[in-house]
Chains A and B, each alone.
Chain A
């Protein structure tokens, strides 16, 4: 990453949360888009929004990733559980200079609420949005709630592109200022219909997705098949594809996830390896490091998305050991807790 936007105070502005100048050929003011468009291998991760109204808790959780990730996804009621909203987490992170990705799920809001929130997020400085269908309400702690699903992820992508590119609501009413968002979506190549998952990817890209973050990849062979089809169809030229990587703490958790978390495919070989390991936690991180290295070698893969629920403190460790950043140091706050820790150690 050139010094152009990391060190120059004129470029960065006075507050860490100030938007960066828009570069030629870019759609957002964000750092995440810059990293990808500059051709770097990007690393993103996921923050678990707190069950709290405390903004400091958000910053504390984000600081675990300082210096190792290019963007942080703020989940939107993941697993249909209530937490602090994705929009608020993104606003808090943006003010501190972080580069959050606003996850938008179709489960809880209709097209009126979603379009309004999208404008609000951009007004608060958020530069990235990720369009998801969302988990069913039955998966969460409020199964009696009314599922909305006015949109699916593809219609949501399309809507965000209309807001941004045509500067209008779906109704046609004009916007005075369009939300400058870098728009992405997800893909799960590892569950049926496996042979059509690449067609699903094509639809999302046709709708306007500019980057893709995949579900957990624990099966390199399936990923290779998927990516080679994506390359053949020219899809990797049209969107940046980041592969989801998980940190598994034990064979028991892995088996539980496979049974209970929708869309998670973990081959027996991985579970056996964790079972036989003397130190399963370390083994889980080793698996993660190996997967990141293998994924990086696959044609068309432009980054990894590390999901380490309740293992967040290990994200820096696995990213560092994998070497996928090629010595690059992603942005971190001036007063980063991590930075002072590493400097004193």
Chain B
């Protein structure tokens, strides 16, 4: 994630406007446009970040490196198996998603977000749009809020 700083700026510039316009669109059209919106998100974020559409986007908190590309889908990585050259234990040809994430976060303005705990994803959200979730201000249940 050598371009994480740039990606962060792009994301911070674009994401709120997308979510903002979706807020309006969902008010007008309800759920009618959910399918194309979800497809657009999958296409754009898939192209840019190899997004897996987990439905609980953590990109801005993980150095712009999508944690769902980790073969173990670790949300608070890395695991202890990273190779000496920084490559993935499971896929030796791939740079560890979390080595990339910590590296990316170190270049980002809000990189410290990576130090916060991300609880396991809600598997019901797989394939759903994170943008729509934000637009509708749906929140994840705080089943595991860290209180200490």
CA of A188 to CA of B82, assembled, Å: 9
Please pick, from A149, A202, A203, the residue contacting B72 in the complex, using a CB distance under 8 A.
A149
Whether B81 lies near A135 (C-beta < 8 A) is yes
Binds B, one of A39-47, A154-162, A248-256: A154-162
Asked whether any CB of chain A lies closer than 8 Å to the CB of B30, the reply is no
**Chain A window 103-114, contacts with chain B (Cβ cutoff 8 Å), 1 for yes, 0 for no:** 000110001000
Enumerate chain A residues within 8 angstroms of B123, measured Cβ to Cβ: 150
- Chain A residue numbers with a CB within 8 Å of B82 are 188, 191-193, 263
Could you mark each residue 142-153 of chain A with 1 if its beta carbon is under 8 Å from any beta carbon of chain B, else 0?
000001011111
Segment 119-145 of B: residues with Cβ below 8 Å from A: 119-120, 123, 143-144
Assess A170 versus B143: contact at CB under 8 Å? Given A191-B80, A193-B86: yes
Bound Cα distance from A295 to B80, whole angstroms? 20
Query: Are the CB atoms of B84 and A153 closer together than 8 Å?
Result: no
**CB contact list, B68-91 vs A, under 8 A:** 71-86, 89-90
Whether A134 is near chain B, meaning CB under 8 Å from some CB there, is: yes
B135 to nearest A CB, angstroms? 27
Q: A73 within 8 Å of B by Cβ?
A: no
A-B contact count (CB 8 A): 109
Interface residues of A, count at CB 8 A: 41
Does B7 touch A at the CB level, under 8 Å? no
Contacts of B117 in A (CB 8 A): 154-155, 158, 203, 206-207
Known A-B contacts A206-B117, A207-B117; the reply to A136 vs B89 at CB < 8 A is yes
Residue among B103, B119, B123 with max Cβ neighbours from chain A (10 Å) = B119
Are A192 and B80 also in contact (CB < 8 A) when A149-B73, A149-B74, A158-B146 are? no
Interface check B35, CB cutoff 8 A: no
* Cβ distance A246 to chain B, nearest Cβ, rounded Å: 14
**Nearest CB in chain A: distance from B22 CB, A:** 29
Which of these, A107, A138, A155, contacts B76 with CB under 8 Å?
A155
Q: Are B144 and A200 in contact (CB under 8 A)?
A: no
* Contact yes or no, A136 B83, CB < 8 A: no
Taking a contact as CB atoms under 8 Å apart, the answer to whether A154 and B90 are in contact is no
A158-B144 in contact (CB<8A)? yes
Q: Pick 15 A–B contacts, CB within 8 A, sort by A.
A: A133-B80, A147-B72, A152-B77, A153-B74, A154-B117, A155-B76, A155-B117, A155-B120, A188-B80, A192-B83, A192-B96, A193-B82, A206-B117, A206-B148, A263-B89
Q: List residues of chain A with CB under 8 Å of any chain B CB.
A: 106-107, 111, 133-136, 138-139, 147, 149-155, 158-159, 162, 170-172, 186-188, 191-193, 196, 199-200, 202-203, 206-208, 215, 262-263, 265
Residues of chain B at the chain A interface (Cβ within 8 Å): 71-86, 89-90, 96, 98-99, 102-103, 114-115, 117-120, 123, 143-144, 146, 148
